[in-house]
Structure 1
Amino acid sequence: MLLAIHLFTALLMGAGLGFLGGLFGIGGGIVAVPMFVLGFGMDQPFAQGTALVLMVPNLLVGWWRYQQRHPMPWRAMAAIGVSATLTTWLIARVATRMDPHMLRWLFSGFMGLLALRLLSTARQSTPPQEQRLDLRVLPLVGMVGGSSMGLLGIGGGLLAGPLLSGWLGQRQTTAQGLSLALVAPSSVVALATYAQAQRVDWTLGVPMALGGVLTVSAGVALAHRLPERPMRTAFAMMLAATALWLIIGPHLLG
């Protein structure tokens, strides 16, 4: 009976995270990690490893579906994907040995900076003029995104997307396609590294992943019906509040 309740609860939470991920166009990990830390009392590396169980299937399916609609050149995908995967593996080995409190501070700082960026770009609507894609700089973008995936378990696409669309002047479809080519294989390597270091709760992560797969499409469908700017602002405020609570919450509760 207790096992059935545990599975049902995990499926329900995964469904909620999958829906939010589809609604805001993010990986579920950026919401799951704070929930695991604050709600389940996990330490930061354990929360990041468990969240990767939820993220991996969604990212792999998303990459496959996006590649069907917007095929990317294989050389570009290899340049960004291989560099990101190797960087993820190296940084993840370090992250699993880091002090959990230091890792939580880094995660909170990343969420705070992301919230500020979302707020600053909420009013921007003019897309950049597309430029020719320079394959020589893609490994650098892969290393930046891979570093975030390895250290925090999230953020590879959130960092790579603006670099590809802003710095390299790519269309949004190209930026999204290459970002998925970065984060999908990197998430698999990150999960394997965290699992090898025994930083994954499979009994919680697997049913949550199943629940998330069932609802992510519904979140995407609703996102297309709602105004983008208020949603982005609300999401940024939620990230800022969560980052602040990750820092001060343990002190207040303690």
Structure 2
Amino acid sequence: MSLIDFALNLILGVILGTLGGLFGIGGGLIAIPALGVLFGLDQQLAQGTALVMVVPNVLLALWRYHQRNRIDLRYALTLATSSFLFAILGAGWAVTLDAERMRIGFVAFLVALALYNLTRLYFRPAAGGTDLRHPWPWLALLGSGAGLLGGLFGVGGAVLATPVLTSVFGATQVVAQGLSLALAAPSTAVTLVTYGVHGHVDWLLALPLAIGGLLSISLGVRFAHALPERTLRALFAGFLLLCALLLGLRV
């Protein structure tokens, strides 16, 4: 890799890191279609390479969210433990699947999730808060489903968890994004190990992306706490549709 290529990949990592901090997803969701479209990587290789950036970004973003809006340790551990166990299953399954079918499935998931978030903009949900509407053990069910999805697609668990936490559990968007990061931290790490063992990681491409993400993710977290709730939710839905479009170009 030339110095120019390294610099360009570093800049791309900065952009992805800012988006990851803004939406509480570590940047991987848009990194996967970006890697597929810009570098021609197949689905598994794009997912594994994106995870090299996602894992440190998620950890740093989780700390930043916790500093600004303290995350309940009981909620976080319940989500993290359940997602970790099911991410092992999802990642083991993912490395055996056809890459194009995985890509189509991922596009469908993003579109469905974006449409769901858009419909919520036209309703008046009950005001969210830091206390959940349902007992905390129910978070294990959410963590299991999100962990399985995260292991399968490399990312996606936190994206699923965020709207569920706001609509079903009554958390605010910012609180939901912080808890989603707690869910994603262990599951993305174990997924990265699985993809790496099976050779689905381009480490040379991934490292400058990871460095750029670490430099910028705190800025994204700052933006997330500055934006109005409705605006953040609308941007989140639009972001999901953009990711689906980019991936659809490769189908």
SS state at 2:90 partner: helix
Rg comparison, structure with higher value: 1
Take 1:184 and 1:11, find their aligned partners in 2: how far apart are those partners? 22
Q: TM-score, normalising length from structure 2?
A: 0.86
C-alpha RMSD over aligned residues: 2.6
What is the Cα deviation at residue 132 of structure 1?
5.5
1:1-254 correspondence to structure 2 within 5 Å = 3-68=2-67, 69-74=69-74, 76-123=75-122, 124=124, 126-128=126-128, 130-131=131-132, 133-170=134-171, 175-223=176-224, 229=230, 232-233=233-234, 236-247=237-248, 249-250=249-250
What is the Cα deviation at residue 81 of structure 1?
1.5
Take 1:244 and 1:148, find their aligned partners in 2: how far apart are those partners? 20
Range with bigger deviation, 232-241 or 107-116: 232-241
Q: 1:190 to 1:51 in 2, by over 3 A?
A: same
SS state at 2:2 partner: helix
The code of the aligned residue for 2:45 comes to: F
Q: 1:25 to 1:38 in 2, by over 3 A?
A: same
Contact persistence 1:72–1:177 (CA under 8 A) = no
Unaligned runs of 5+ in 1: none
Q: TM-score, normalising length from structure 1?
A: 0.85
Report how many aligned residue pairs link the two structures.
248
SS state at 1:203 partner: helix
Take 1:177 and 1:245, find their aligned partners in 2: how far apart are those partners? 26
The code of the aligned residue for 1:148 comes to: L
Take 2:228 and 2:70, find their aligned partners in 1: how far apart are those partners? 25
The code of the aligned residue for 1:179 comes to: S
Take 1:168 and 1:86, find their aligned partners in 2: how far apart are those partners? 22
Q: 1:134 to 1:58 in 2, by over 3 A?
A: same
Take 2:8 and 2:71, find their aligned partners in 1: how far apart are those partners? 38
Q: 1:192 to 1:144 in 2, by over 3 A?
A: same
Contact persistence 1:122–1:232 (CA under 8 A) = yes
What is the Cα deviation at residue 111 of structure 1?
1.3
Provide Cα deviations, 1:14-34, integer angstroms capped at 9, x if missing partner: 011112223444331111100
Contact persistence 2:83–2:187 (CA under 8 A) = yes
What is the Cα deviation at residue 196 of structure 1?
0.9
The percentage of counterpart residues that share the same residue type is: 42
Range with bigger deviation, 54-63 or 134-143: 134-143
Unaligned runs of 5+ in 2: none
